Amino acid sequence: VVDFDKELRKLVSDLTDTMLQSAGAGLAAPQIGVGARVFTWHVDGEVGHLVNPSLDLSSEVQDGPEGCLSIPGLSIDCERALNVVAHGFTMHGEPVLVEGSDLLARALQHETDHLDGILFVDRLDREARKKAMRIIRESEWFGDSAPTIKVSPHPTNGFGI
């Protein structure tokens, strides 16, 4: 994201509303078909967002259940860093630093992965991934048509859609 404008503020608002209506812990722009490095989170009563995030991960790890609004009905243990320091910007272009542990650390990592084209099932060990893929194939929504992808109104400089 290079333009911190009205369009970006509208995107953050849409992401936040959609996330809260879906009872999610986070939502990234690519999940609603927008190729921009933006996500929102809602963890322990705190709602926030990050634009153009970069993460510093602790070497200490946590292993716990993880799910995704993009994969309804799936929750499976996934290893993540226990603590995260996230650097990024607000929707107004102001630098921000977010420190999180436990669930917030998990959400920050999960949503940043979406911005990089990674789903949490890509991070599972072989056996857990096989189990997850079986659950996905057996889901009622498996085989439904893919959502329509929208082109970002912001210059992507060759990154994203």
- 8-63 pLDDT, tens digit per residue, is 999 999 999 999 999 999 999 999 999 999 999 999 999 999 999 999 999 999 99
Catalytically active residues, by annotation: 111
8-state DSSP, 34? B
Query: Residue 147: what pLDDT?
Result: 57
What's the CA gap between 24 and 41, in Å, rounded? 8
Return the DSSP state at 119: -
- Residue 112: what are its φ and ψ, rounded to 5°? -65, -40
C-alpha 23, offset from chain centre: 14
Q: Is residue 161 scored above 50 in pLDDT? A: no
Give pLDDT tens digits for 68-99.
998 988 999 999 999 999 999 999 999 999 99
CA separation for the pair 94, 96 (Å, rounded): 6
